Structure 1
Amino acid sequence: MILNILTVPNPILTAKAQPIQKINRTILTLVSDMIETCRAASGIGLAAPQIGKSIRLCVINLEHLGIPPFALVNPKIVKKSWKKTELEEGCLSIPGIYGIVKRAEKIKLKALSLQGQENELSADGLLARVIQHEIDHLDGILITSKIIKYTDGTETKERKTLRE
């Protein structure tokens, strides 16, 4: 089921999300719906607060890079590289706003699998960037507080066109 994506200034978007205590059928259905919603919006990531759920859950959708969609439950970044990269970002919850955001090039994180097992993952490049963006959502942080230079969205729109 395609879900409604909240937009600013909804207060859920700037509140810290709560950890998930138990992975049950409701969470599994929500993950499926979030992946469907992310695809329908041509997005590459979606956090639960963006669909009105203040829980620490996000989905990543980089199918165009050969990475099947997956969910992160209670993700926590445990290490970030010193090296940072700057890239234009947009956000489904802030339509029409784009800007250059500086993020760690590589990260390590811990998260629960949908089976409830704690996993440690490493990510770099676009995958690391998307994960950091979505975890920011879980912490109530929007890209508008991280943008170092506003842009017209050309890069983001071109990448989106390539995915479609």
Structure 2
Amino acid sequence: MALLTVLCYPDSRLHKVAKPVAQVDARIKKIVADMADTMYEAPGVGLAATQVDIHERIVVIDVSDEQNELMVFINPEIVWTSSETKSWREGCLSVPEFYDEVERPAEIRVKALDIDGKEFEIEADGSLAVCLQHELDHLQGKVFVEYLSIFKRTRISQKMKKRAKELIGQR
């Protein structure tokens, strides 16, 4: 398995819309395995393929306390959302060290393919619902900071650009 490089905001590649996976084959299974390794190593609870510069509709999630319940979503789509919303403090591997409140539907239903290409549906609430919506946003080219005010987005973007320059200068 390989660790993949996670793109950092405001990298324009994070705004690419992911294409559907045509077939769940060995290549897709390797991408899923590499994404899972990358997510666990980070450490994170979710990762969308867009974040690792793979623009296909693939998401891995593990919101378990022990980080031992990997969930794979290929070609996921939200098929239902509750009218009730809830605000959660979110973070993102593509926006390290920044967290803020985002309001989202409290419950959702997602349809997807699993690692074997079988279709399934799952209803989610709590942290799983938040994580799914967050990762599916990535597949649409949207980063959680885009829910924030323009002032906060600008500040985060400036800090991330400064951090990137500092990292380049250290090499």
* Alignment partner, residue 61 of structure 2: 60
Residue of structure 2 equivalent to 1:155: none
2:95 alignment partner, SS class: coil
User: How many Å apart are 1:63 and its aligned residue?
Assistant: 2.9
- Amino acid corresponding to residue 112 of structure 1 in structure 2: L
Taking the aligned partners of 1:25 and 1:101, their CA distance within structure 2 comes to: 36
State the SS of the aligned residue for 1:96: strand
Write the distance in 2 (CA, Å) between the matches of 1:66 and 1:9.
Answer: 28
In structure 2, the residue corresponding to 1:123 is in which secondary structure?
strand
Q: Specify every segment of 5 or more residues in structure 2 that has no aligned partner in the other structure, as ranges.
A: 153-171
User: How far does residue 77 in structure 1 lie from its aligned partner after superposition?
Assistant: 0.2
Letter matched to residue 131 of structure 1? L
Distance 2:66 2:144 in 1: 23
1:110 maps to what in 2?
111
TM-score (norm 2): 0.83
SS at match of 2:92: coil
Provide the rounded CA distance (Å) in 2 between the counterparts of 1:140 and 1:116: 24
Aligned mates of 1:17, 1:69 — CA distance in 2: 21
1:125 aligned partner: 126
- Larger-gyration structure (1/2): 2
The one-letter code of the counterpart of 1:101 is: V
Structure 1 residues 67 and 123, CA, compared in 2 at 3 Å: closer, same or farther? farther
Structural RMSD (CA): 1.7
Moved >6 Å (runs of 4+): none
String of CA shifts for 1:136-158, please: whole Å, max 9, x gaps: 000001111113696xxxxxxxx
Provide the rounded CA distance (Å) in 2 between the counterparts of 1:86 and 1:65. Answer: 24
- For residues 69-92 of structure 1, what are the alpha-carbon distances to aligned partners after superposition, in whole Å with 9 as ceiling and x for unaligned? 111000000100111111111111
The residue aligned with 1:43 is 44
Instruction: Return the alpha-carbon distance in structure 2 between the equivalents of residues 66 and 30 of structure 1.
Output: 19
Which stretch has the larger CA shift, 91-100 or 50-59?
91-100
TM-score (norm 1): 0.86
Percent identity over paired residues: 36
Alpha-carbon separation, structure 2, partners of 1:81 and 1:66: 27
Name the CA shift for 1:108/1:6 in 2 (closer, same or farther; >3 Å).
same
Q: Deviations over 1:39-74 (max 9, x none)?
A: 111100000010110110010012316761111000
Corresponding residue for residue 31 of structure 2: 30
Q: Secondary structure at the match of 1:95?
A: strand
Q: Residue 77 of structure 1 aligns to which amino acid in structure 2?
A: I
- Distance in 1 of aligned mates of 2:130 and 2:22: 26
